[in-house]
Amino acid sequence: MEANGLGSQDFPELKNDTFLRAAWGEDTDYTPVWCMRQAGRYLPEFRETRAAQDFFSTCRSPEACCELTLQPLRRFPLDAAIIFSDILVVPQALGMEVTMVPGKGPSFPEPLREERDLERLRDPVTVASELGYVFQAITLTRRRLAGRVPLIGFAGAPWTLMTYMVEGGSSSTMAQAKRWLYQRPQASHQLLRILTDALVPYLVGQVAAGAQALQLFESHAGHLGPQLFSKFALPYIRDVAKRVKARLQEAGLAPVPLIIFAKDGHFALEELAQAGYEVVGLDWTVAPEKARERVGKTVTLQGNLDPCALYASEEEIGRLVQQMLNDFGPQRYIANLGHGLYPDMDPEHVGAFVDAVHRYSRLLRQN
């Protein structure tokens, strides 16, 4: 039994640990696979469940999050579940208003414009207590999974969260957020520290609630070049991993594998491989063999089929998966897409992707 009764919630025994074994760098009988945004609008049942309420109300309903998380697992033999939530619950918990505008995406009516706006933010120490609904969703889902596959928790990385808080929504250039980095470096670091201080207890709380792995999404890495990335993103990515690991140990919780996915951050691949994460996620712009050469044998790679490949015929998907698996090699590898599933994708083609990974990765091991 772990200390504090945390993490010792007598969850059902795990029947399929292939994803976790691959994440830790152990050998597996086949390549495990899951999809970013596997609980998403491409599923008619997802659209049906979501139709009733607005986006963030859904995020605040453990019952709804659980249902949405489990939907893709009823259709496909995925090797992991990822809790349905959103990275922007953290800025919300810091006191910022966020709405999800249908067809447009997230919107902050009062973004951070001046340095003094940082004073509006709540103490990051209180954030985890504001996000109890995520922990409840994780515990409920972990029980209902009944040990079928592991459950992944997640959060957005500090720089990516900062972009939304400063831009007030999505942006093609991130010019406002980058203006902060150039004009207000000290205030930028202050904001990134606040976010890091909020993320650490939030991620530890997810593990205490039942998450068996954690993924950090640095979705907007590509807007930073190598210099800005190593100054304003990487130190916080490292800090999150280091502090989460230390806090898990202090709480008497078993370690869980950490995944870093820095989209378009290929210029920092070596640094990410040494940032304290067991798994490095790749987008589709990176050649798997080159990535493997650059990161060495110490980390597991995850990815990286172009999501748009799922528009191809099922035959072609099989061929592309075969190529991808050959390039990554059989071990220290988790198959995924190079980004999330898009709403107009055919669930049958998602099924074809999952099946192709399982089928071909078993063949690869026989030869």
Positions marked active-site: 37, 41, 50, 86, 164
Strand partners, 213: 152
308, 310, 312, 317 alpha-carbon torsion, rounded to 10°? 120
d(CA 195, CA 193): 5
d(CA 84, CA 59): 7
d(CA 264, CA 51): 32
Q: The tokens of 319 are what?
A: 């061929």
Residue 251 phi/psi, 5° resolution?
Answer: -85, 0
